[in-house]
Amino acid sequence: MTTPDVTTGGAAGAGGTARPARAAAGFTPPLRLDLVGERPYGAPQLAVPVRLNTNENPYPPPPQVAAAMADEIRRIAAGLNRYPDREAAVLRADLAEYLAATEHVSLDVARIWAANGSNEIFHQLLLAFGGPGRRALSFAPTYSMYPQYCRDTFTRYATEPRGADFSVDTEAACAAVRRHRPTVTFLAAPNNPTGTAVPLDTVAHLASAAAESGGLLVVDEAYAEFRRPGTTSALTLLDDFPNLVVTRTMSKAFAAAGVRLGYLAAHPAVVDALRIVRLPYHLSTVTQAVARVALAHAAELLAQVAEIRAERDAAVAWLRESGFTAAESDANFVLFGIFADAHRVWQELVDAGVLIRETGPDGWLRVSIGTPEEMRAFRTALAAAPAAGRRVRRTDGAPHQEGGVT
């Protein structure tokens, strides 16, 4: 009788000596057919001096906030042999207080939910409200992960085009909701990758249209803290529309991308549904603790938001003065172009030590807003890039749009 070798997958031979494992060349695991040929999501991470491609906050937490986080981790470390609070009740209460202070909305804990980044929030929403035979709708170009969440949850995904200025036409969007009858409609506001804000009136009309067929309107406000004055959050409509869900993240404005904390505000029935599909103890003790410290120091962490806004507006002005097309932005990035060969422009910037993002419609590129020094490096590199001088004119005012149903 031979004994399996659990280390190599081989079997013990005479004298108990394990035979070397055969090479696994040619092995094909039983991957789902719809995943064959798919690639993992991820922006390129290259070793260049200036990285402006993933919409991160360029400013690290201040030393006193980092020290407070370290102290809290040290305090809770002795209890890490125990599972975390699976309801994250105290953290959710802190999030409700933050929204009350910044957006002037009164929400109790039953209307707040938290997870590992807004990515997990979206995944949970589709696990609960999507699935086979159901459809999600969004307005393209928009966040490239929405179709992947749908793919993973066997939810059919449909898109309708935005306007030439990347805005959402209220009448056309409501007509699309009534036509597709999605159980989930995603509306990124401000939108990624274009940075476009959405008027509150449009949100209200879309929520009403979604309610006609029993669907949810999910407003993705990942970049809400970077909005220009006068742009009101969809959070203010929650009491009027029980089918409205507003998602947020601490990754951007809070300089906490490494914490992985996303959250939503919605009707308690929506939160209860997500509690059904969440993984057990999905939010670690450390994540909850560090996020609570960040919320306690919100004023310090958000202090750089105004500077990032100013740099964004300056970037838009410079791009336009330099002959480029730059989309209006209420986020911490700018979409610009329109290039005959956007990939070549991207590569010339990388060669100059500046990494931005190839995303969005054909011919466009996106730059995340960095520090003043990083933005100077971006401007210098773009001005010197030979391919950046070869741009195309918008003959009909409309950029390329993706669309259709998958």
328 lies in the same domain as 232: no
Burial label, 222 (beta-carbon count in 10 A; 0-12, 13-18, 19+): buried
Q: Which residues contact 234 (CB under 8 A, 6 or more apart)?
A: 189, 200, 203, 219, 221, 244, 246
The CATH number linked to 337 is 3.90.1150.10
204 lies in the same domain as 80: yes
222 lies in the same domain as 318: no
Which residues does residue 139 pair with via DSSP β-bridges, in sequence order? 160
Q: Average the pLDDT over 3-22 and give the result.
A: 50
Is 403 part of any domain? no
- Domain membership of residue 346 as a residue range: 50-61+303-389
Enter the tokens of residue 301.
């962490």
73 lies in the same domain as 86: yes
* Residues 258, 117: Cα–Cα separation, whole Å: 10
Is 102's pLDDT higher than 50?
yes
Domains of the chain: total: 2
Three-state SS at 334: strand
The CATH number linked to 99 is 3.40.640.10
- Strand 112-115 versus strand 365-368 pairing type: unpaired
90 lies in the same domain as 196: yes
Is 84 part of any domain? yes
Residue after which a domain boundary falls, among 261, 296, 331: 296
Question: What is the pLDDT at residue 94?
Answer: 98
80 lies in the same domain as 167: yes
Q: What is the pLDDT of the chain when averaged over all its residues?
A: 92
242 lies in the same domain as 366: no
268 lies in the same domain as 314: no
Using 50, 70 and 90 to split pLDDT, how confident is the model at 393?
low
**What tens digit of pLDDT does each residue of 136-154 get?**
999 999 999 999 999 999 9
139 lies in the same domain as 283: yes
Three-state SS at 142: coil
CB atoms within 10 A of CB 148: 17
Residue after which a domain boundary falls, among 280, 296, 312: 296
- Lowest-confidence region among 33-42, 54-63, 177-186: 33-42
Using 50, 70 and 90 to split pLDDT, how confident is the model at 261?
very high
316 lies in the same domain as 336: yes
* Residues 164, 231: Cα–Cα separation, whole Å: 21
Residue after which a domain boundary falls, among 262, 296, 330: 296
Is 2 part of any domain? no
Question: What is the pLDDT at residue 366?
Answer: 98
**130-133: Cβ within 8 A, 24+ apart:** 130/154, 130/155, 130/183, 130/184, 131/155
288 lies in the same domain as 308: no
Is 378's pLDDT higher than 70?
yes
331 lies in the same domain as 244: no
Is 324 part of any domain? yes
Is 15 part of any domain? no
